[in-house]
Amino acid sequence: MAAGLSVEQVQPARTFRAALRVPGDKSIAHRALLLGSIAGGRSRIEGVPQGEDVAATIACLRRLGATIEADGGGLLVGGRPIAEWDSGPASLDCRNSGTTMRLLAGLLAGSPVRATLSGDGSLSSRPMDRIASPLRLMGAAIETTEGHPPLRVEGRRLEGIRHRVSPPSAQVKSALLLAGLQAEGRTCVLEGVPTRDHGERLLTAMGATVRRAPGEVCIEGQQAPLRPLEIAIPGDLSSAAFLLAAASLRGGWTALIEGVGLNPTRTAFLDLLEEMGVSLSRQPEAFEIEPRGVIRVAGGALRAVRVEPERVARAIDEIPIITVLATQASGRTVISGVSELRVKESDRVRAMARGLSAMGATLEEQEDRIVIEGPAPLRGAAVDAAQDHRVAMALAVAGLVASSPTTIHGADRVDVSYPGFFDVLRRATGG
């Protein structure tokens, strides 16, 4: 096992009861910070999560000259129109964060800046042609390293394009919208599956001309700076998913998550939980930019589910935890169209198949499909987080229903999105 340095042990749980808020939404935070940095004035962003991914975005933006300062519970971002940014050259370390790298590449493509964007070992193996190719069609000067990071971007005058994003990717869509904001004319992004629309919502709130139709979003290039942003970021549903899933595993187990994002482009996971038989309620609250509310879950018997490619795309970050639930559901769960999961922070199909198989799950890994027979009794094992925050959290949740302790190697990866996750798990299980 390619063991990480940090190890956590998860004990079998007799009970699970969580009532809490989770860290702010990572996807919204990256976008709010990037857009705040180019606005014509000072933005105030509350609820920015503490994790390493968002810290990477903040560090890159500071390196590019943005002022981002703590102010009470929030961050003040001093915006400066991008045409006024220093030309560099800048060396930007995006660490583990694909969103940081892809969105920054889009933002810088039409700026005066010259920059090299690099990342850690995991990010360095992730595909970048999916942004480099359409950005080049807009006129960008962007070089990859054989399709991977490091990326070299030299800002150029851009022209709007019409581009279909395939496979579906909110990161690619947002990168093109950020470039489109600075391009001549109109940029339209087409998508077969509606991916998260945080970029569109923030851009609209800040005064950009964004037009949305089913399967398509267009943005007009504009000279005028964006209006500063005021936002309280809701909790990250993709982080809450691990606690909601934990509570779903056994009768009598519960979770209540307050102030969590309920953006409909992110809630496919909740629909899947309901389809698996979980008793779940959503209580929406008033909001201005991003929907939010309270989610309650009570565990019980789970049934298998079929997850087809469209729903995989809409619950892309929740598929690892769905595989855990499937091991405890009666029947055969088939999840198809999973190849995108192989190019996330790790090969998540392989990492989950290895971990859950070591724990006794009946699981078949195919190139583009995962088949799981349940319910299967799980046993504790030594498992590897594969340097991936979501794999670490998913395998930890599996450990709650194992018959003996589970050891997670590389457990500190949870710091990427949910620092303190293991403490939350211990408290919820009375540990």
The site map against ligand S3P for 78-107 (x = CB under 6 A) is ---------------------x--------
The structure tokens 């070591």 sit at 358
- 27 lies in the site for ligand S3P, by CB under 6 A: yes
**Residue from 24, 28, 124, 5 nearest 392 by CA:** 5
- 317 lies in the site for ligand S3P, by CB under 6 A: yes
State in angstroms the smallest separation of the CB of 317 from ligand S3P.
5
Task: Give the per-residue SS3 of 286-317.
Answer: CCCCCCEEEEEEECCCEECCEECHHHHHHCHH
Compute CA 184 distance to the chain's CA centroid, rounded to the nearest angstrom: 30
**What one-letter code names the amino acid at 422?**
F
Q: What residues contact 215, with CB distance under 8 A and at least 6 apart?
A: 190, 191, 192, 194
Choose the stretch contacting ligand S3P; rule: CB under 6 A; options: 35-43, 140-148, 163-171, 262-270.
163-171
Whole-number Å distance between alpha carbons of 153 and 415: 29
State in angstroms the smallest separation of the CB of 195 from ligand S3P.
6
Paired strand residues for 333: 372
Q: What residues contact 271, with CB distance under 8 A and at least 6 apart?
A: none
The site map against ligand S3P for 324-363 (x = CB under 6 A) is ----------------------------------------
What is the dihedral angle through the alpha carbons of 148, 153, 157, 162, rounded to the nearest 10 degrees?
20
Size of the site for ligand S3P (CB under 6 A): 10
Nearer to ligand S3P, 93 or 340 (CB): 340
317 is catalytic: yes
Active-site residue (options: 25, 93, 317, 412) = 317
State in angstroms the smallest separation of the CB of 97 from ligand S3P.
9
- 171 lies in the site for ligand S3P, by CB under 6 A: yes
- 316 lies in the site for ligand S3P, by CB under 6 A: yes
- 254 lies in the site for ligand S3P, by CB under 6 A: no
Binding site for ligand S3P (CB under 6 A): 27, 99, 169-171, 174, 195-196, 316-317
As annotated, the active-site residues are 317
